[in-house]
A and B are shown apart, each in its own frame.
Chain A
């Protein structure tokens, strides 16, 4: 079955440590996205990528970094510069940046203490 795999489902880190969240898709989609979800705030776009080796900042990119070395993979690094990293992180993909619907992974819940 085609889909998006996010791992791990739960992640715990100490404050001051960088952490990388994995996102892999086998849908052959060109575009990939990272969203952050906080209670009562909906989804906010962190970064997105239209093609390999290219990505753009979303609305809340500060404290995050990404790479897109392969079409299938779009890892997100939460750095120590992110002030409030504890959240639910969702990865998504679509056929392109147009009116194609997004397909979502099941998310990674990051807790930083």
Chain B
């Protein structure tokens, strides 16, 4: 079975600093990978996705992620964060052999002035 690990439950960072949110997955077959963002009391919004091709994926709001097959990771990065980036971020994996998206437990990004 596939699984997703987001080791950091909370990441505090100052405005305009860079940030990396970590995501590792386990799967015995090929996967599709996603990052979603959730603002307070709202649903999830897709940030970016990796389906195939280039391992560096660019998403909305200046975020990007890199798929590393050897390390089974899909870390999310942003070179300079804004206060408005404060939210919870979820990594998710879809095993190409199955049809169910599995979510990590989320990382809360807290951006302060």
CB of A38, distance to nearest CB on chain B (Å): 10
Inter-chain contact B43/A42, CB cutoff 8 Å: no
B43 contacts which chain A residues (CB < 8 A)?
A: 4, 6, 90, 92, 104-107
Inter-chain contact B42/A102, CB cutoff 8 Å: no
Inter-chain contact A42/B44, CB cutoff 8 Å: no
Complex Cα spacing A107 to B43, Å: 6
The binding surface of chain A is classed by DSSP as: loop
User: Interface size on A (CB < 8 Å)?
Assistant: 24
Contact of B44 (CB < 8 Å), options: A40, A41, A104:
A104
* B34 part of interface (Cβ distance < 8 Å): yes
Complex Cα spacing A58 to B99, Å: 11
- CB-CB under 8 A for A102 and B32, given A40-B9, A42-B104: no
Q: Supply 6 A–B pairs (Cβ within 8 Å), ascending by A.
A: A40-B105, A58-B100, A102-B44, A104-B44, A106-B42, A109-B41
